[in-house]
Amino acid sequence: MSGRGMSAAAQREARASLAQSFLARFEGLKARLPGDARAREAAALAFGERGLPGPRDEAWKYTNLRALAGMAFHEPFTVVAGCNGLLDRLPAIAAPRLVFVDGRLRQDLSRLPGTMRVSGFAQTPDFGTLVHPEREPLAALNTMLAQDGAMISVAEGVDAGTLVLASLAADVHGRPVAFHPRHRVRLARGARLTLIEISLGEGVYLHNPVSEVLVGQGAVLTHVRLQDEAPGAFHLATLYADIAARGTYDGFALNIGARIARTEIHARLGGENAVAHLNGAQLLGGTQHADFTSVVSHDAPSCTSRQTIKNVLSGKSRGVFQGRIEVARGAQKTDGYQMNQALLLSADAEIDSKPELEIYADDVKCSHGATVGALDADQIFYLRSRGVPEPEARALLVRAFLAEALDPIADETARTCLDEAVERWWERQAA
């Protein structure tokens, strides 16, 4: 089932077979699916042509979905009971929350906010304008099969505080399920929101969310994501963000769970002095694979983009970073920065790093860099010579490595939530 020894032809066949099963599901469900039927048909057409991405797709060169292709996914039950164990695993955050179980919004488990408008995609379906099903096959799959999701909008000038968006996979079926939630976050001019997104679950499943984010003029969205999915899960998340003049999208994604994870972000800086922070950390062990892929489009002058992605890799895990900065012809005074660093805790861990700059303006400042290394033997010995036992010395140095990525997170609630997740990951590695 892992498919490691599978021939290229067999892999292609497995991908085609899984794609066919998704297309068949669409045919069976489409009469009952909410929203624009034409958008779904177009997505189905695109998905039918492209299929699931394979190693020949440039954007998926380092992330092979053969393990996914060997699966048979089922439709989640419409009503799921008994996920209280998972609710207990959510960090205690005193804020409104939207809870999704197997991709469906559960009003009974949610605490609705008073500071913003919130509804389910199932009730108010809107595919938005930013998503490109013809370009990204996973977005096509999502558009084809999305049944629910969070539609969030904050009105002009409103500071909406913090909202938790939790996605739980309940494993009540005992067989693999797939869900494709469709989220949209819209901040009007001058609005503010801190969105803390947490994904966790049990069992084997595909969580394939697509999010559309619109940051209005001068608005600020802080978007902190914690992906702590089950060890058997596939988490393939695609986010499209459009940031208007003076607006800020401040994103951080921490990936510690899932068998295969991909955090794909397409961010467009569409107005002067817009800012995008696409930061993240990936902490992996065993045979985990996590891919952080970003495309930042500077489409207006004087915009800033910042990316610091840190990878801590143990066991036979593999981290991937693909970062692309595109600067349009008129986007003078662009300031783009990208740094990818990996700490390899074992000889069998691997990192692939692919930065790309595509610049059509002449007055810009763009830089990128990458470092790969192991823990420093001198640093470990220095700590041990001060009485710090070796495991504790290693933990301290790993935390220090992550500090640079985590320290810019100003929101204390989000930071605590991530710090605790880092501790959990570390304990798992030691166990």
Partner 1 sequence: MLEIKGLKADVDGTEILKGIDLAVPTGEVHAVMGPNGSGKSTLAYVLAGRDDYAVTGGSATFDGVDLLSLEPEARAAAGLFLAFQYPVELPGVGNANFLRTALNATRRARGEPELDAVQFLKLARAETRRLSVPDDMLKRNVNVGFSGGEKKRNEVLQMAILRPKLAILDETDSGLDIDALKIVAHGVNTLRGPDFSALVITHYQRLLDHIIPDRVHVLAGGRIVRSGGPELAHELEAHGYASVAAEAA
Cα 248 from Cα 239, distance rounded (Å): 15
Choose the stretch contacting partner 1; rule: CB under 8 A; options: 2-10, 253-261, 272-280, 373-381.
Answer: 373-381
Please identify, using beta-carbon distances, which residue of 5 and 387 lies nearer to partner 1. 387
**What is the smallest separation between the CB atom of 401 and partner 1, expressed in angstroms?**
6
**What is the smallest separation between the CB atom of 344 and partner 1, expressed in angstroms?**
17
Residues 171-210, one symbol each (x = binds partner 1 by CB under 8 A, - = not), give ----------------------------------------
Choose the stretch contacting partner 1; rule: CB under 8 A; options: 115-123, 315-323, 365-373, 381-389.
Answer: 381-389
**What is the smallest separation between the CB atom of 159 and partner 1, expressed in angstroms?**
32
- Among 403, 410, 420, 427, the residue binding partner 1 under the rule CB under 8 A is 403
**What is the smallest separation between the CB atom of 388 and partner 1, expressed in angstroms?**
5
Choose the stretch contacting partner 1; rule: CB under 8 A; options: 83-91, 131-139, 172-180, 375-383.
Answer: 375-383
Is 399 a residue that touches partner 1 (CB under 8 A)?
Answer: yes
Is 387 a residue that touches partner 1 (CB under 8 A)?
Answer: yes
- Among 2, 112, 384, 410, the residue binding partner 1 under the rule CB under 8 A is 384
Is 392 a residue that touches partner 1 (CB under 8 A)?
Answer: yes
Please identify, using beta-carbon distances, which residue of 325 and 406 lies nearer to partner 1. 406
Please identify, using beta-carbon distances, which residue of 360 and 382 lies nearer to partner 1. 382
Please identify, using beta-carbon distances, which residue of 87 and 388 lies nearer to partner 1. 388
Choose the stretch contacting partner 1; rule: CB under 8 A; options: 25-33, 235-243, 269-277, 393-401.
Answer: 393-401
Q: What is the 3-state secondary structure (H, E, C) of the chain?
A: CCCCCCCHHHHHHHHHHHHHHHHHHHHHHHHHCCCCHHHHHHHHHHHHHHCCCCCCCHHHCCCCCHHHHCCCCECCCCCCCCCHHHHHHCCCCCCCEEEEECCEECHHHCECCCCCEEEECCCCCCCCCCCCCCCCHHHHHHHHHCCCCEEEEECCCCEEEEEEEEEEECCCCCCCEEECCEEEEEECCCCEEEEEEEEEECCCEEECCEEEEEECCCCEEEEEEEEECCCCCEEEEEEEEEECCCCEEEEEEEECCCCEEEEEEEEEECCCCCEEEEEEEEEECCCCEEEEEEEEEECCCCCEEEEEEEEEECCCCEEEEEEEEEECCCCCCCEEEEEEEEEECCCCCEEEEEEEEEECCCCCEEEEEEEEECCCHHHHHHHHHCCCCHHHHHHHHHHHHHHHHHCCCCCHHHHHHHHHHHHHHHHHHHC
Is 36 a residue that touches partner 1 (CB under 8 A)?
Answer: no
- Among 115, 316, 383, 411, the residue binding partner 1 under the rule CB under 8 A is 383
Is 385 a residue that touches partner 1 (CB under 8 A)?
Answer: yes
Is 388 a residue that touches partner 1 (CB under 8 A)?
Answer: yes
- Interface positions with partner 1 (CB under 8 A): 376, 378-379, 381-390, 392, 396-397, 399-404
